[in-house]
Structure 1
Amino acid sequence: MGGYRLTDSSRVADIASARTRFGDRTAVLVETVLLRRRAAAKLGDPSGWLFTDDALQQCTAEPVARHRARRLAGRRVHDVTCSVGAELAALRHTAALVLGSDLDPVRLAMARNNVGGVDLCRADALVPVTRDTVVVADPARRSAGRRRFDPRDYTPALDLLLEAYRDRDLVVKCAPGIDFGRLGELGFHGEIELCSLGGSVREACLWSSGLATAGRRAILLDRGEEVTDTDPDECRVAPVGRWIVDPDGAVVRAGLVRQYGTRHGLWQLDPDIAYLSGDELPNGVRGFEVLAQIGFDVKLLRRELAARDAGAVEILVRGVDVDPDELRRRLKPRGAAQLSVVITRLGTGAHSHAVAFICRPSR
């Protein structure tokens, strides 16, 4: 089946041709090929792997799984929601012992194909079947294709997982948008780790107190950088410099903007806003070179952009109720230059005001 393109334009003809060769197995083979092609973006080389669509959506991206496996190097690890084996594939290279279990017999059969040599068993994640192991869990956060935002609606529910392994070292993968303020109510006391890859925050990972080395951690896999709440945070507040930096989403979500700014010699524009500024741009970090600063006013901003021949305009907003898409339509940029507009609020109370920085992006 690998020789078939299976694109929108060729799919009907490809499937008709495949039926002459594979008969009743065609539908399964086509689905497998398409899932493997989608999986390449997450797993690198998924040739030979078997998936279901739901399982592939839940699979941890390979770089994220490798990072977690490095933190668990030398430990005995039991993945209690192993699904088709994405976490096991990384853990088997670092852990002293690896075991996987799942309730779904189909996914277990796929895991046996995908990660041969790893011991697997069918078991309920909420019923401990091992001792003296670090438990890794990745609860399902979708139902009928829709996201579940309440951790009590995960499968298995987060509060039940925490209760089942309350005296064990436990690692739980969660949605990055989980309400951190509720975790204590659910029984979690440990480290919250936010992980970003490819410019987006992929997950929040909960590390129980026996595994925690910080309270909050941001992992920037693209840069090989991590920031924690144990890092220095002497980040001053000052007017804008040459550059504005919008920190990685994992840094912002983890509440580590001050630590990140201190590390890179940057300062905050406002103590309550995540934008940072500096006269030098950290290596490898995308920034916005400030050309002008104005009070935020749509008509004034339109004139300023037109005077700079702006065409493609990227709009970033923090602390101000502005819809970037709607604002772009109102600005009607028609020029040739590519510019960015950073809109934010500065000051508090009676001194609070919205400003717009007209910038040139570094890349």
Structure 2
Amino acid sequence: MPVPSELLRGVAEAEITPRGIRPHRLPAWVREQFPDGQLLSMESQPSGVRIVFQTTAGTVELVTHPTRITYLGAERPRGRIDVYVDGALTVRDTLDGGDRIEVDLTSGQTVFHPGHAHTTTVSGLPAGRHRIEVWLPHNESIDLVDLRADAPIEPDDAALPLWVHHGSSISHGSNALAPSEIWPAVAARRAGVELRNLGLGGSALVDPFLARVIRDAPADYLSIKLGINVVNLDGMRLRTFVPAVHGFLDTIRDGHPDVPLLLISPLFCAIHEDTPGPGAIDPGSIGTDQVRFVATGTPGDVALGRLTLQVIRRELRSLADRRAADKNLHYLDGTALYGPADAAELPLPDGLHPSAEAHQRIGNRFAEYAFTQDGPFA
């Protein structure tokens, strides 16, 4: 049967396609208002999206048709589907097939390579009713073609507290091993909350439409991680960044005046700590085993308002202090999640994104900070 949209968690909507349905993390009005290629690519990758249901079936099969972006001369790990049965990881399935869009980083040209559908199978389930949670790939777009089982599938009506998180490619899951191991998923699973992940690679740019999406989203907890993409893009100066963040928070508060809201500054990233953007791919790393990123700005060049991560942390802390009347607004320095000591122990493989092991550490630290008895989401 086609995957019923009511089984999907962590989505804005499901688009009907010739193959089935395609989960979207942003609503159609955003995609129509600002059809930016980077944003559209990222929001269609179902980071944090799950199919959740109950069944007495012994075998369940999910047929999908993935679409991925690859780079000529640079290998990228395939996406995975994680299946949890009654809270335990039971299947970790690496995708094969699907369509491939190959990008030549030197010329910008793209080539489309069609592929076949993929089937994920869970078999040998013991007798009785089970809660099945299927985490879709965080790094490949996907059409949900068919959901098959040898017993009826029913919606799971368990109501968990809902955490909505917005951030950059790190929150999206870059370099994470699997969809349930991106750091927001690690934190959500540990805390026992429902995740809606609005981590969007390259697109945490204080966009007003994202603030409206968050304003209108049901939420028990909210977190906003801002800064690294603004520096990567060299997209703002100090004079425009600070008022934009105020406006972003004001819009969210229009819909969620009292919901706990955590403002998070950037994690440690050596290339941008004292050097503004734009960020770029190191040409010398193209064609090697590991593409790397570099900062192309001038170190220390902040006199005219150019932004570095150190400047952004200072300004976000000051901004939070000036909004002290909002007792449910909290600030977290991102280096408490991943700082210089962590970078020495678990270096950023590409100079920008944490490793799979670091995602685990960040997620656990966030859960310990935010969801414990004295935390902002207690």
Please state which band the TM-score falls in when normalised by the shorter chain.
Answer: under 0.3
Give the TM-score normalised by structure 2: 0.27
Larger RCO, structures 1/2 (Cα 8 Å, 6+ apart): 2
Give the TM-score normalised by structure 1: 0.28
